[in-house]
Amino acid sequence: MKSRLSWLWSEYSVIIAFIIIFIAASVMNPRFLDINNQLNILMQVSIIGIIALGMTVVMLSGGIDLSVGSVLALAGVISVLALNASGSILIGVFTALLVGAFAGFLNGLMVAKGRIASFIATLGMMAAARSIALYIAEGGSVSGEVSGFTAIANNNVWIFDLPVLIFFAMAVLIYIVMHKTRFGRYVYALGSNEKAAMLSAIRVDRIKIGVYTLIGTLVGVAAVIETSRLNSISSSSSGAQYELDAIAAVIIGGTRMTGGRGKIIGTIFGILILGILNNMMNLMNVSPHLQGFVKGLIIIIAVVFQKRE
């Protein structure tokens, strides 16, 4: 009986935690269950959720990416400039994806070919990307001048905001990539034992570059939504601390910091747990300055539970 309970907790701990937190939030504040509030939670977590999907893949490979917030700001700034210059929404969107993918590709090159620890490589990219964004935007914000661009983040399909549907579509896509393709199997193998993966004739360098390019592309998607929502992007504040939220969601979802173990579905529940906690703190008028403390505490608790498994 004890071993079965241990297995259930090991496999479904994030789902159990989600149910407990959801019930607790419902009891603590009746407004929590309001359908508009639930949809608002989904909307709030959609951007971080898309980034967290990519972070899951990176962490499964045994790496980490601290540059996602700064790359989002850079991709947003350059895409808006391209949008305004061309007058084409398609070109603006493509530019954001291209900038994000290129930044991720550079991270992958530094990690795979330069043999630089992912923490250091992406820390450098974080500083560089933010600096370039600030320089291009002259330290301020840039606004879109093309009508219709805001429809990307502000349209609805039935009762769901379009960013929420994009998030779930990305989740399905990454799930398929990680669980139904050779690339996904190689990522798990790399995170479990890099040396064994190399001895198994897996092109480790290519997998690493692919992993970071993938998260960069997803950051580009998030940048499009972030920019479209307000039709502008701030070079200084947009994307700030997004890496903390993404990493927190991934760890809460059960992905190991050392790589090789974790699930995309876990990350989805992890980001929903963060969304519920943020929403409850807002409903209870908890100071926003304490929300970072709560996230940090959650990360520590999640890692402690991982070590006990």
d(CA 106, CA 104): 5
pLDDT at 4: 67
Residue 259 lies in a domain: no
Structural domain range at position 54: 46-141+149-240
- Counting DSSP H helices and E strands in the chain, the numbers are 13, 4
Q: Cα-flanking dihedrals φ and ψ of residue 186, to 5°?
A: -70, -35
User: So what's the pLDDT on residue 6?
Assistant: 65
Helix (H) or strand (E) holding 66: none
Q: What is the pLDDT of residue 10?
A: 66
> Would you say residue 117 lies in a domain?
yes
Output Rg (C-alpha) for the chain, integer angstroms: 19
Q: Is residue 233 part of a domain?
A: yes
The number of distinct structural domains making up the chain is 1
- For 162-209, what is each residue's pLDDT tens digit? 999 999 999 999 999 999 999 999 999 999 999 999 999 899 999 999
Instruction: Give the three-state DSSP class for 46.
Output: helix
pLDDT for 289 equals: 80
Q: At what angle do helices 291-308 and 264-283 cross, to 10 degrees?
A: 140
- In a domain, residue 76? The reply is yes
Look at residue 267 and tell me if it is in a domain: no
CA atoms within 13 A on the CB side of 4: 1
Does residue 64 lie within any of the structural domains?
Answer: yes
Both tokens of 200, joined, read: 């198994």
Low-confidence ranges of the chain (pLDDT < 50): none
Q: How far apart are the first and last CA of the chain?
A: 17
Assess if residue 279 is contained within a domain: no
| pTM of this structure | 0.94
The helix or strand, by DSSP H or E, that contains position 138, with its residue range, turns out to be: none
CB 104 within 8 A of CB 214: yes
Residue 69 contacts residue 126 (beta carbons within 8 Å):
yes
Q: Is 38 contained in some domain?
A: no
Residue 234 phi, psi dihedral angles, 5° rounding = -95, 130
Return the pLDDT at 8. 62
